[in-house]
Structure 1
């Protein structure tokens, strides 16, 4: 498991390569935004994290009184960050699951086969569509045996990737990323997207 986590973390770093990343901005419980230059930055332990001063202020945060100069930074960030984060569409990462090796099993089927703790059963003799197996959710520990109850989720979400550099990739590279088995995990279809996101954050 540790090796998987390290691989996924490295994947996130690769996605971020070549983009300018702002340092973490901490919003305290009192609503004050502390960028790294704030004298209270290291002392702020309980906080909500933001990736820019602008984002923190937009969430109804405010800067320390002695750091009013950062307001100009926040204003300057706004147009550039809005442009960088616009235009995401799922279709820009391909339409559905790909069968890159042409073996009849698309990336969803291959993810199910790899993650199953027992031999999977297929819908027919062509062995294309997986119908049963045994999957253990890394988020809840639940055991799922019906493939129809499984969603294949992206550990690094596609929109996150788009916002952090994938918007400049070729369509072929985005499709390959969306179908990369290292970035795919089976989860309960009934498990909400918000819970997926929280689970990913805890995993990474």
Structure 2
């Protein structure tokens, strides 16, 4: 089966009838194919999705039903350009924030001074101080996947890049805690440092408001209770 275009295809319909886009592990391995501009067109022409992709859609649909929100397009982290080097100085978003927030002079991994090796950073999530950059992750306070399901799925790639690199939505945190948090919102995860929780809730809500993101009703009820509890504590 020959490709219908000599340019790099966006979607390949394999000889076995499966539509592979560029996120598919089989995309580059598929040599005999018909090319299409989108998965939707490929399916219209008789193709089908890989089983893994179908399972992902089923899972996302179930999550939407469980959470009481509309189904949105599948989240793909590659759609959210992050850790950019916008000023072309070889230091990306992560390393610029490491430099900016270190409480002592940083040391770099090489003479090019692109990547930070060590410094001193306070992590409010854990209430601990770290000196090695590898002990820290750059956390999106409002996670990308969380935003995706609450209004951001319709954003352009440029809007997603702005959100993913917005310093107001970034904080250096202990790597293990960032991974524990995952894509959870404040109704499902709060920092273990109790003294920081109300500030975290306020910060999370500020970012949600800045980007006109909306909680689903079940989340909003919990968020309202958390905000009320914090107001009583001050």
**Which TM-score band applies after superposition, normalised by the shorter structure?**
0.5 to 0.7
Do 2:125 and 2:177's aligned partners in 1 also have CA atoms closer than 8 Å? no
1:89 to 64, 71, 76: 76
1:101 to 84, 87, 95: 87
Q: Which gives a bigger RCO, structure 1 or 2 (Cα 8 Å, sep 6+)?
A: 1
Q: Aligned partners of 1:195 and 1:164: how far apart in 2?
A: 17
Q: Aligned partners of 1:169 and 1:195: how far apart in 2?
A: 24
Q: How many Å apart are 1:195 and its aligned residue? A: 4.9
For 2:220, the equivalent position in structure 1 comes to none
Q: How many Å apart are 1:83 and its aligned residue? A: 1.7
For 1:113, the equivalent position in structure 2 comes to 99
Q: How many Å apart are 1:166 and its aligned residue? A: 1.3
Distance change in 2, residues 1:191/1:83 (3 Å): closer
Q: What is the SS of the residue equivalent to 1:133?
A: strand
Q: Aligned partners of 2:66 and 2:107: how far apart in 1?
A: 50
- Greater displacement, 159-168 / 146-155: 159-168
Matches within 5 A, 1:30-41: none
Unaligned runs of 5+ in 1: 1-54, 60-77
Q: How many Å apart are 1:178 and its aligned residue? A: 0.5
Task: Return the TM-score normalized by structure 2.
Answer: 0.49
Unaligned runs of 5+ in 2: 1-62, 183-188, 202-234
Matches within 5 A, 1:28-107: 58=66, 81-84=69-72, 86-94=73-81, 96-107=82-93
Distance change in 2, residues 1:58/1:191 (3 Å): closer
1:178 to 159, 164, 170: 164
Asked whether 1:193 is paired with 2:179, we answer yes
1:155 to 141, 144, 155: 141
Q: How many residues align?
A: 127
